[in-house]
Amino acid sequence: MAKLHRAAEPDVLKPLLERARLTLDSRERVMDHALALLADLRAAQTRGWVNQFLQEYRLNSSEGVALLSLAEAFLRVPDPETADLLIADKLGDADWKAHSGKSNSVLVNSATWGLMLGRALVGDEKTGALRRLISRAGEPFVRQAVGAAMKRMGEVFVMGRTIDEAMKRMKKPENKGFTASFDMLGEAARTKADAERYFQAYFEAIRAVGRDPKAGHSISVKLSALHPRYEVAQYDRCVPELTDMLAQLASESAAQGIPLTVDAEESERLEMSLDIIGSVARRPELKGWNGFGMAVQAYGKRARAVIGWADDLGRPMHVRLVKGAYWDSEIKRTQVEGLSDYPLFTRKAATDVSYLACARDMLAAKNIVPAFASHNALTVATILDWAGDSRDFEFQRLHGMGEGLYERLVNEQGYHCRIYAPVGGHRDLLAYLVRRLLENGANSSFVHQLADEQLSEAELLADPVEKIAAVGGTRHPSIPMPVELFGGWKNSGGIDLAERTILADTAMAIASKPLPFRGGVGVGHSASSAGLAPSSVPTPNPSPEGEGLVRSAIDRATAAFPGWSATPLATRAAILERLADLLEENRIELMSLAVKEAFKTIPDALGEVREAADFCRYYALQARTGLAPITLPGPTGERNELRMEGRGVWATIAPWNFPLAIFLGQTAAALVAGNAVVAKPAPQTPEIARAAVRLAHQAGVPEDALVLVTGGPEVGAALTADPRIAGVAFTGSTPTAKKIAAALLEGEDRPLVPLIAETGGINAMIVDSTALPEQVVADVLTSAFRSAGQRCSALRLLLLQEEIAEGVIEMLRGAMELLILGDPADPRTDIGPVIDQAAYDKLMAYRDSAKAQWIKTVPVPATGLFVPPTMIRIDRPEDLTREWFGPILHVATWKAGTLAETVARVNAKGFGLTMGLHSRIARSAELVEAEARVGNLYINRSMIGAVVGSQPFGGEGLSGTGPKAGGPHYLHRFCAERAVSVDTTSAGGNATLLSLDEGGI
């Protein structure tokens, strides 16, 4: 099962197609039954204003998306000013008038009229009779109306705000004959307090349902709600704890005599989930209780194998088969991490095939009590045909969806159907359910297609087996393989660190690699279970390289430049591509150096190697397409050409925080442009640079065209002072960049040479009250504390809207408590030590000086250069005047309605590297995009991890000179542009003109 989810899609589908195939005679029966079910579904869509409203405003319309986006955020917005902005944003641009009078429902048409009124109030029309008519009511009128509509929508999708309310609602006539599976939650736990609260909610719900066991209801549980660190890297901690909590809930369910089902999670958690479920299923105290169950997602390639696993547990297991809930995020994760293949099917029809094959297995299984969750008429009809006269299974549908499909089956034919019923506050659950709808390919769902009047019955009920067989089971053409994600250049390969065995093997391989020594002094550290001893983290000594060795290096590079510059551009580009391949072939060695020398965690070390390879491949492509000679226009008898050529010898000066990626990125760009390079790494990380240069030479770069010099500031000064240096690429601090810029201007006879500088920043994230707190907290932790805050892009200043500040801060406090500091070679570690004693002393002195303003800090190992992640409150953005390069986050607030002013205050600091915004208001995003003076703006995501070619990186102002690394303009800065104009008339003119003469001269 472990490797099945990375297998090729056609190979996985081949046996599924045979298992899901209908015989000719059964196909006719199934189609007849499906047509009848389809008629019931369509009839139900004409009943009730809610169904008609959702049909009118489908997800393939801008109005439907606007309404769902409004529903996702509106109920969590506490302040009226932001609520009005959100309403204006979502209602103001939509064409509600196009829907006026279209529905058969008076209520739907009334709702449309209300939306038209809302648009008149909040849209761009500032004049007109309608505006004047209702101007006295103003925004509060619209706000109240929208609030009422959102609460009504909440009632559609949420069964009840409490378990008692939900159970009471299940007794209403529309739910006659149905039972419920109550799901108590929306979001996953972010803090220990969240997990404890959710556990208690589940426990109380079990007891509440147990008070009426004859009703037949059950409870659904999310494991991610019970543990805030439900991650493979935290397996040794979270799996035992989750097993214990689930066993307690299962024991209480057994005592109450009600079923309990464990919901499905993302594919990266599947094996952990199976370990937990399997352990609980085997508990002796649960023997004799037949109510334990689990959900299986048919879109996963391992779904059928999981069905077999459940059957082999040797005890009755309720298995709920669903199509799947995280399709978009699973696809994106696989692409971003450069994994070998997708863990799920890329075509909707392939998921349907998998579903049918799994369903057939479940019906034939000895120990499985099947539950089929589907709104698809063909799927339901097929299962009914395969089941024959049996009633030993149940169907399931979502509350608020699929109405009409099962009523006749339940109340007239004796089949059992359970409603999956979310329970909780509308503020949280409606947002969660809407995101699931927006994020997970809802446009391809049967319910969505049903509302499309353009689709015929034959199209709606097309056999998925025939669809997939027609394309040979191949991957969807619009979803490239991760390696092909960027089209023009090969995406770097990743390691699936969400696979426990792969993570353990990777950690073991990294640990086994010896770290080179220099000068008899070990580079890096030795780790113990207690942490890292300060004495094991060396402070850089003065470099053994003197000015003479620097001159010698420049001599060598100067002599090599003509030959390397004359090397064909295609050859230079091919060498970079070979270097990228070598980086990946030597990935473990390089990761080991990054972990042991730069104290990077295993995921960060992997990212380091991948980014270096991406730089090489991307710059190779850019060189081929952007540095080739260009023929320019001109008059007849003249040839004009622009050539991009190397400038000479470049000095590349790299930092320790990206000792491979930035070191090689700068160097590879200079090389492929035709320059020779003298490369200087940071004094803290010379060994990974040596390895990189060795591989570059192995790839074909002449040894004298790329010369490594190591040492401290004196070596850098000697490099930049030499007048033969034709350009400098530097990444580091702003003061050092200024010193380099000044040095390059010294000497009357020295040529003017380019400086490419990437420096730091006081990077701010602005959060308004429409933002999702759980997402904000996850992104803040990543942006501020990953890599021990030692990234130039790291979050330094968090600006929270006043109305939500304390809630977000409280969640951040809880999430920070779960951070694990320790040996970066340990897969469990989130944060390692800072780079050296000097950095440690500087950060700790500043942190101690601000002790009175601490909001939260966390304990660290007793020994080692660990700076505790710390959150510090400041009164104003202006109070933070410099960059603190470590895990220190400053927090201030801003007032609603002052977004533009807040951006201006951040701009006024003079830095311009990164900025973040969390908001559901598109116009706020547009405002920040227009006003922010930063190189990289990140909206509704973390602020670190720029991707080569996709998110070119670099700042402005005090944060750098540009051009942006990993972008389409970077290579040109390394070139000398040379134009050549040739008068061809002196050699006989333009002979091609003669071919245009028709009659002769």
Packing angle of the helix pair 686-699, 661-672 (nearest 10 deg): 30
Residue of 238, 417, 616, 792 marked catalytic: 792
> Sheet containing 888-894: which strands, arranged edge to edge?
854-857, 870-873, 888-894, 795-801, 763-767, 914-918, 936-939
Residue 472: how many CB atoms within 10 A of its CB?
10
Return the structure tokens found at 278. 């399997």
| Paired sense of beta strands 638-646 and 975-983, if any | antiparallel
Q: Is 758 a catalytic residue?
A: yes
Residue type, 41: L
Measured CA to CA, the distance from residue 343 to residue 331 in angstroms comes to 8
Phi, psi of 550, rounded to the nearest 5 degrees = -65, -45
Residue with tokens 């619209």, as numbered in its chain: 142
Q: In degrees rounded to 5, what are phi and psi of residue 678?
A: -110, 115
The vertex-459 CA angle with 342 and 462, nearest 5°, equals: 60
Token couple for 972: 């040109």
Which residues does 593 contact at the CB level (< 8 Å), separation at least 6?
Answer: 513, 515, 660, 687, 688, 691
CA distances from 14 to 341, 378, 379, 753, 878 (A): 17, 21, 19, 62, 63
The residues near 731 (Cβ < 8 Å, ≥ 6 apart) are 653, 654, 655, 658, 662, 666, 757, 758, 759, 792
SS3 for 857-882 is ECCCCCECCCCCCEEEECCCHHHCCC
In 3D space, the residue among 944, 599, 954 whose CA is nearest the CA of residue 794 turns out to be 944
- Residues 340, 4 contacting (CB under 8 angstroms): no
Q: Which amino acid is at 97?
A: K
Q: Could you tell me which residues are beta bridge partners of residue 926?
A: none
Contact 879/900 with Cβ under 8 angstroms? Answer: no
Q: Which residue stretches of 325-483 are H helix?
A: 327-336, 348-364, 377-387, 407-411, 426-439, 446-450, 457-460, 464-470
Q: Which helix (H) or strand (E) holds 994?
A: none
Residues forming a β-bridge with 965: 953
Inter-helix orientation angle 62-73/80-91, to 10°? 170
Set 758, 774, 803, 883: catalytic member: 758
Quote the crossing angle between the two packed helices 106-122 and 80-91, to the nearest 10°: 110
Quick check: 600 and 608 in contact, CB under 8 A? yes
Query: Residues 499, 6: contact at Cβ < 8 Å?
Result: no
DSSP class per residue in 611-675: HHHHHHHHHHHHHHHHSS-EEE---TTEEEEEEEEE-SEEEEE--SSSTTHHHHHHHHHHHHTT-
Angstrom CA distances, 120 to 91, 94, 115, 448, 923, stand at 9, 11, 9, 29, 18
The count of other CB atoms within 10 Å of the CB of residue 733 is 16
Catalytically active residues are 758, 792
